[in-house]
Structure 1
């Protein structure tokens, strides 16, 4: 959630930056400022009346102590009259604050000045590419055929048990999945991230804190009986670990990593590259999250991009890094880099990671703060990235490493998997 001070200090610049995200309601900025003016007036009126009531109440005690009962009774009537006016002011103030918050949460995060203008993924900027494009042998096939040939993943069984988009990993497929998760976690913990194993369902306050609510209700699975949500990413519970916490400056940066299954309805995506592992409703992912000093968040963003890049390099995959344009960014992000790996048998790029800086957008919602060296309390910045999402990584590994004899695994995975080939 954007800070009111940001809106008030330069509303014109705020509207210009929102336009980069193709935001269609710039008038909300003026409405929010107007409501905030009303809130301030009502707060002053409430505090002033409350102060008069407190002062008169103290005076009543003094009058009674001096035996001036008649004057005390007069003051009591004055207090009662003030209390009568206080109630409506309080009600109007609460209604104004509620309306103000409802408008504030409709504003997306402001994009960084580094964000390119554009409306579609075609407008994203390619920052750099790496790795070598694989050359496949004549009999190469896409991963869903490899999964069937080597009995690694059963898509039809998943459809029977749950529905489309819920694959069942089996045998060496399940073992490879486990090997990837273990490798990713150890890669992150060796870089100083503390591992967590969080709940896979969260309450409304947690989903609100990272911006999934009220923006993405339709993309999450909702457990209506208990009003809980299945997590779309580990970012949601992990970042909320520090909700309503005031850290010391020396505690920063806070570095966390977690493996979780992720659940996404992917509403409206049917028929769009849904074959095999390209788009599923349940998938495994290892996430990295950092809480940092505001002055360091963009340096940390580049460090996290480098961290994920080296991980992909270690798998020997051909990849590219994109800087997302305003129209392709998430509601909460200020700047996002996407990683895509090349799927040789499909001849297409597959997204496997997003690394984002949210600045103070999430931490303002969650009240994640720290005290600086001068004792001043300020909001931390939050960042997160996939390190890595498994389905499309697995698809690319299977496709790009196939030959006449099977699928040769990258060297870094062989120890975790217990073998060189499938």
Structure 2
């Protein structure tokens, strides 16, 4: 959530940077400033009314002490009127604060100045590419055919049990999935991240804290009886670990990692590009989350990018990095880089990680602050990244490592799988 003070001090810049998202935010920004001015005016009126009431109460006490009962009773009528005015002003102030907060929740984060303007993924900038695309044998198949051939992922069984987008991993497919999770967590903890086991259901406040609500309302699975949401990513419970927390500057930076299943309704997703593991309603992901000093967050962002690079190099998968344009970036992100692996069998790039810096946007919602060297409270910066999302990594391994005799296992995963071939 943007701070009102920041909006007022940088009004034209905020409008210009939000235009990178293809949003004309002029009306929303003007309304936010107007609501805040109204709020301040009501607050001043309320403070003055309370001060006047307190002063009269003291005067009444003095009048009773001096025996001037009639004057005291007249003033008591005045205090009754002031109390009614105070109650009305408090309600008006509460309504104004709620209206302002509701509006601020709807304004997305301003993109970093280096983020390109654009409408969709076609306008993203490729900034890095690494790895050789393998040459496959003539009978190479996409992963959904390989999954059926080697009986390692059953999409039809998942459809019977639950519905489309809920696959069942079997045998070596399940072991390979577990191997990837363990490998990712080991890489993250070796890099200094503390492992957390996090809840898979979160409350509404947690969804507002990281920006899923109100922006993604309807895209998450919601249990109306208990008013809880199935997590769309470990970012939500992981970042909310720090909700309403005041840190000491010496405690920064903080890095955590966690494996969770993720649940997304993906309403409106259909077509060949979402076949197999390409897009699911339930999938596994290992996340990395950082809480940083504002002065260090973009250095940390670069470090997260390098960390994901190392993992993909060890898996020996061809990959590229995209800087997302304003129109393709997530609601709460100031800057996002996407990693994609090349699926040789599908002849297309598959997104397998997003690394984002939210600057103070989430921290303001979360009330996540640190006490700086001057003793003042300051908002932290939050960052998160997939390290990694499993379905498309698994799809990339199955397709790029396939041979005529079976599917080889990446060398780095052999200590985790206990086998070197799926056949």
Q: Give the TM-score range, shorter chain.
A: over 0.9
Instruction: Show CA shifts across 1:20-48 (max 9, x none).
Output: 11114421101111111111000000011
**Structure 2: distance between partners of 1:10 and 1:397:** 47
Structure 1 residues 194-233: aligned runs within 5 Å? 194-233=194-233
Q: Is the 8 A contact 2:15 2:24 kept in 1?
A: no
Residue aligning to 2:264: 264
**Structure 1: distance between partners of 2:160 and 2:54:** 69
**Structure 1: distance between partners of 2:62 and 2:192:** 63
Q: CA deviation at 1:71?
A: 3.6
Residue aligning to 1:8: 8
Q: Is the 8 A contact 1:320 1:340 kept in 2?
A: yes
Q: Is the 8 A contact 2:177 2:390 kept in 1?
A: yes
RMSD across aligned positions (CA): 1.2
Residue aligning to 2:96: 96
Q: CA deviation at 1:90?
A: 1.6
DSSP 3-state at the match of 2:288: strand
1:317 aligns with 2:317: yes
- Comparing 402-411 with 277-286, which one deviates more in the overlay? 402-411
Structure 1 residues 391-402: aligned runs within 5 Å? 391-402=391-402
Query: TM-score w.r.t. structure 1 length?
Result: 0.98
DSSP 3-state at the match of 1:332: coil
Q: CA deviation at 1:66?
A: 4.5
DSSP 3-state at the match of 1:172: helix
Residue aligning to 1:124: 124
Q: CA deviation at 1:100?
A: 1.1
Q: CA deviation at 1:289?
A: 0.4
**Structure 2: distance between partners of 1:321 and 1:266:** 24
DSSP 3-state at the match of 1:105: helix
Residue aligning to 2:109: 109
Residue aligning to 1:52: 52
Residue aligning to 2:286: 286
**Structure 2: distance between partners of 1:61 and 1:91:** 29
Q: Is the 8 A contact 1:18 1:26 kept in 2?
A: no
Q: Is the 8 A contact 1:154 1:167 kept in 2?
A: yes
DSSP 3-state at the match of 1:260: strand
Residue aligning to 2:37: 37
DSSP 3-state at the match of 1:273: helix
Residue aligning to 2:192: 192
Instruction: Show CA shifts across 1:113-171 (max 9, x none).
Output: 11011112111101110111111122211111111111100000000000001000011
Residue aligning to 1:235: 235
DSSP 3-state at the match of 1:327: coil
DSSP 3-state at the match of 2:419: coil
Residues 177 and 126 of structure 1: CA distance in aligned 2, closer, same or farther (over 3 Å): same
Residue aligning to 1:338: 338
Unaligned runs of 5+ in 1: none
Residue aligning to 2:413: 413
Q: CA deviation at 1:67?
A: 4.3
**Structure 2: distance between partners of 1:301 and 1:362:** 16
Instruction: Show CA shifts across 1:389-408 (max 9, x none).
Output: 00000000011111122111
Instruction: Show CA shifts across 1:94-124 (max 9, x none).
Output: 1111111121111110000110111121111
Unaligned runs of 5+ in 2: none
DSSP 3-state at the match of 2:295: helix
Instruction: Show CA shifts across 1:337-357 (max 9, x none).
Output: 000000011111000000000
Structure 1 residues 143-162: aligned runs within 5 Å? 143-162=143-162
Give structure 1 regions of 4+ aligned residues with deviation exceeding 6 angstroms. Answer: none
**Structure 2: distance between partners of 1:60 and 1:419:** 88
DSSP 3-state at the match of 2:327: helix
**Structure 2: distance between partners of 1:218 and 1:206:** 16
**Structure 1: distance between partners of 2:177 and 2:20:** 39
Q: CA deviation at 1:270?
A: 1.6
Q: CA deviation at 1:58?
A: 3.0
Q: CA deviation at 1:237?
A: 0.5
**Structure 2: distance between partners of 1:58 and 1:385:** 59
Structure 1 residues 288-303: aligned runs within 5 Å? 288-303=288-303
DSSP 3-state at the match of 2:386: strand
**Structure 1: distance between partners of 2:55 and 2:202:** 46
Instruction: Report how many aligned residue pairs link the two structures.
Output: 422
Query: TM-score w.r.t. structure 2 length?
Result: 0.98
